[in-house]
């Protein structure tokens, strides 16, 4: 691997046997601050607008009912904002509607302040983000070196998958409406915690099984050492992504894992296995053959 080839002593083989690149999102393709500094504040700011604009939709009604139920469950907690039960949300008069909206807005702020991971909140946030992306108000932030690497890897025949704690739906929004356009075409598939937690080695075995690859044919890129440990235990080759704002690595971590600061460092020409190199050369020849001959040169 080009620039950092000597960082790890290393067990790395000269010719890489990978077929698949498995990418984490936060701290890897995307700044670690994106969720905290962009997505969460956006959801908080847009609860009222979302409820007003989508009041009549079944989805919005379900969101309100779920939050009402949650506030019932939380009724003994300090500072809880209760949301009055309403049998007929659609047929409500304007004043009751405004009261209900106000209590939902306050309740969501309270849940978010307490960093609650409850389904009712996650579901509403997901719907607000979907609208935000669709309306062009939100764009998934992607590091500059990501798209050139995705193009390079996929043109060489590598398959690229995403594995993130964020739901598959959220992943598709982030990459589908990214600062670099719709990137979904580069991915062969997406995994979230339904396949298992990212810090458990079994999850990586499950992914390998589900894509019908040997774990050793997978290269996983993440910023989190515990995830790297789990993947390594499963026999998956792992590289740690060092991006601005990521948690610092200990010296021992730097000794154990290969690190990269940019995807430019991953799977460059000199890292290719001979079969892939042949394919690359052939595809380049095809490209050359397509070039119109300039006469008289």
Q: What is the DSSP string of 186-228?
A: GEEEEE-GGG--TT-HHHHHHHHHHTT--GGGEEEEES-HHHH
Q: Which residue, 83 or 149, is less far from Mg ion as judged by CB?
A: 149
By the rule CB under 5 A, 141 interacts with Mg ion: no
Q: Which of 27, 31, 132, 140 binds Mg ion (CB under 5 A)?
A: 27
Q: Which residues of 224-239 are buried (b: 16+ CB within 10 A; e: fewer)?
A: bbebbbbbbebebbbb
Q: For 143, how many CA atoms within 13 A lie in the half-sphere containing its CB?
A: 22
**At its nearest, how many Å lie between Mg ion and the CB of residue 288?**
39
Q: Is 24 in the site for Mg ion (CB under 5 A)?
A: yes
Minimum distance of Mg ion from residue 203's CB (angstroms): 14
Residue 80: both structure tokens together: 């809880």
Here the tokens at position 210 are 């589900």
Taking alpha carbons only, the member of 58, 61, 123 closest to residue 89 is 61
| Per-residue binding letters, 213-252, with Mg ion (x by CB under 5 A) | ----------x-----------------------------
Integer Cα distance of 35 and 23 in angstroms: 17
Whichever of 121 and 224 has its CB closer to Mg ion, that residue is: 224
Query: According to CB under 5 A, which residues from 43 to 102 bind Mg ion?
Result: none
Q: 66: closest CA among 130, 113, 121?
A: 121
List of residues 6+ apart from 71 with CB closer than 8 A: 80, 81, 82, 83, 107
Q: How far is the CB of 33 from Mg ion (least distance, A)?
A: 12
Would you list which residues are annotated within the binding site for substrate? Answer: 164-165, 198
Q: Toward Mg ion, which CB reaches closer, 20 or 240?
A: 240
Among 16, 23, 26, 272, binds Mg ion (CB under 5 A): 26
- Least distance to Mg ion, CB of residue 164, Å: 7
Total interface residues for Mg ion by CB under 5 A: 4
- State residue 238 phi and psi, 5-degree precision: -130, 140
**Candidate ranges 17-25, 134-142, 153-161, 247-255; the one touching Mg ion (CB under 5 A):** 17-25
Choose the stretch contacting Mg ion; rule: CB under 5 A; options: 24-32, 71-79, 192-200, 213-221.
Answer: 24-32
Phi, psi of 59 (to 5 degrees): -60, -45
Residue 63 vs 223, nearer CB to Mg ion: 223
Residue 18 in tokens: 């990978």
For the bound state, the minimum distance from the C-beta of residue 184 to Mg ion, rounded and expressed in Å, comes to: 19
Give whichever of 24 and 63 is closer to Mg ion, judged by the CB atom: 24
Q: Judged by CB, which is closer to Mg ion: 50, or 191? A: 191
Closer of 30 and 256 to Mg ion (Cβ):
30
Residues paired with residue 247 on neighbouring β-strands, in sequence order:
none
Instruction: Collapse the DSSP code of 20 into the 3-class scheme (helix H, G, I; strand E, B; otherwise coil) and give the result.
Output: strand
Asked if residues 110 and 79 have their Cβ atoms less than 8 Å apart, the reply is: yes
Q: 110-129: which residues touch Mg ion (CB under 5 A)?
A: none
Closest approach of Mg ion to the CB of residue 32, in Å: 7
Q: How far is the CB of 235 from Mg ion (least distance, A)?
A: 21
Applying CB under 5 A, the residues found at the interface with Mg ion are 24, 26-27, 223
């Amino acid at each position: 691997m080009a620039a950092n080839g000597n960082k790890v002593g290393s067990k790395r083989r000269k010719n890489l046997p990978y077929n698949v690149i498995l990418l984490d999102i936060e701290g890897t393709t995307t700044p670690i601050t994106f969720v905290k500094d962009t997505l969460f504040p956006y959801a908080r700011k847009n609860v009222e607008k979302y409820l007003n604009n989508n009041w009549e939709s079944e989805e919005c009604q379900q969101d309100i009912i779920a939050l009402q139920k949650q506030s019932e469950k939380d009724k003994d907690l300090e500072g809880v904002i209760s949301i009055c039960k309403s049998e007929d949300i659609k047929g409500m008069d304007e004043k009751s509607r405004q009261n209900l909206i106000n209590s939902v807005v306050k309740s969501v702020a309270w849940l978010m302040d307490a960093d609650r991971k409850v389904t009712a909140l996650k579901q509403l946030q997901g719907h607000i983000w979907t609208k935000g992306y669709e309306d062009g108000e939100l764009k998934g932030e992607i590091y500059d070196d990501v798209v050139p690497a995705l193009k390079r890897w996929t043109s060489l025949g590598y398959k690229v998958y995403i594995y993130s704690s964020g739901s598959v739906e959220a992943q598709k929004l982030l990459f589908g409406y990214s600062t670099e356009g719709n990137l979904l075409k580069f991915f062969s598939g997406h995994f979230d915690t339904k396949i298992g937690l990212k810090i458990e080695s079994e999850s990586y075995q499950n992914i390998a099984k589900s894509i019908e690859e040997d774990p050793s044919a997978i290269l996983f890129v993440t910023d989190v050492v515990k995830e790297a440990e789990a993947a390594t235990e499963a026999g998956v080759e792992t590289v740690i992504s060092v991006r601005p704002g990521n948690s610092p690595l200990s010296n021992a971590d730097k000794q154990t894992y290969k690190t990269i600061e940019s995807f430019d460092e991953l799977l460059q020409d000199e890292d290719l296995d001979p079969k892939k190199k042949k394919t690359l050369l052939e595809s380049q020849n095809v490209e050359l053959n397509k070039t119109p001959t300039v006469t008289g040169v």
